[in-house]
Amino acid sequence: MLEIKDLHVSVGEREILKGLTLSVKAGEVAAIMGPNGTGKSTLSYVISGREGYEATQGEVRLNGENILDLDPAERAAKGIFLAFQYPVEIPGVATMTFLKAAMNAQRRARGEEELATPDFMKRVKDASAQLGVSQEMLRRPLNAGFSGGEKKRMEILQMALLQPRLAILDETDSGLDIDALRVVADGVNALRAPERAFVVITHYQRLLEYIRPDTVHVMAQGRIMRSGGPELALELEERGYQDYIAQEAA
């Protein structure tokens, strides 16, 4: 599903990704782990098309198609979803208005019919009940004044409604207490499907106790340094990232 080859990305003058290669299959949950400042968020931004993150070399393909020339909305319509580490507050825009605009924009881009209001309302109601998103939250402006946990639940709600093919979760566990973490992980697990892939970016192994990965990739110094199965996460938990940082210095 996702093929990244020898990807080099610069932000301004600074090169952050330095030849990153990664492959994620449909149905797979891939965990990306690594120390802070190693380019994990940069990877999530470059896949979703953020302005200012320039790929100077290499390629990113989604189901065989090069996506680097597409704008964020076009990528979203092709099924890429980024759950933000810091979801953005948008005062003045009602959450429901936003959800409907997003769902219908993607449907239009794919040549599908827009959702009728009753159908839309039912989908939101069902998904929000599962994630413990209250009606009161849905009436407020998007993310405005939400707690950290509420924002993350809102991200997963959007993911459930938009049904992406490739979901990138950027430090979704940051700022969550254990109960909120469980709710969010349950939401993610409910969406696991043979046709859908997840890239779960995290600093700690904790999240992976709730979202069990199929593959684990260690990222350091702008590259994937090592790939393995779930056991790799446990090894990292024990030994930390020292081996990978040291490797670079040597």
Q: Which residues are at the interface with another protein (CB under 8 A)?
A: 48-51, 71-73, 75-77, 80-82, 84, 87-88, 90-93, 97-98, 101-103, 105-106, 109, 141, 158, 162
**Nearer to another protein (CB atom), residue 88 or residue 249:** 88
What is the rounded distance in angstroms from the CA atom of residue 197 to the CA atom of residue 22? Answer: 13
Q: Which pair of structure tokens corresponds to residue 27?
A: 């149905």
Using the minimum distance from each CB to another protein, give the nearer residue, 20 or 82: 82
Please report, as a single letter, which amino acid is at residue 33: M
Q: How far is the CB of 200 from another protein (least distance, A)?
A: 17
Q: Give the residues across from 215 on adjacent strands.
A: 30
Strands (E), the chain: 2-11, 14-24, 29-33, 53-62, 65-66, 80-83, 166-170, 197-202, 215-220, 223-228
Q: How far is the CB of 165 from another protein (least distance, A)?
A: 13
Residue number with CB closer to another protein (101 or 129): 101
Nearer to another protein, 73 or 129 (CB): 73
Give whichever of 90 and 234 is closer to another protein, judged by the CB atom: 90
Q: Give whichever of 12 and 194 is closer to another protein, judged by the CB atom.
A: 12
Instruction: Return all residues near 228 (Cβ < 8 A) that are at least 6 apart.
Output: 215, 216
Closest distance to another protein from the beta carbon of 78 (Å): 10
Give whole-number Cα distances, 116 to 4, 119, 123, 242, in Å: 38, 5, 11, 54
Task: Point out which residues pair with 115 in neighbouring strands.
Answer: none
Closest distance between another protein and the C-beta of residue 107, in Å? Answer: 9
Beta bridge partners of 31: 200, 216
Q: State in angstroms the smallest separation of the CB of 95 from another protein.
A: 11
Buried residues in 195-227 as b, exposed as e (16+ CB within 10 A): ebbbbbbbbebebbebbebbbbbbbbbbbbbbe
> Toward another protein, which CB reaches closer, 109 or 193?
109
> How far apart are CB 159 and another protein at their closest, in Å?
10
Tell me the three state secondary structure of residue 3.
strand
User: How is the beta sheet containing 53-62 ordered, strand by strand?
Assistant: 14-24, 2-11, 53-62, 65-66
Q: How far is the CB of 143 from another protein (least distance, A)?
A: 9
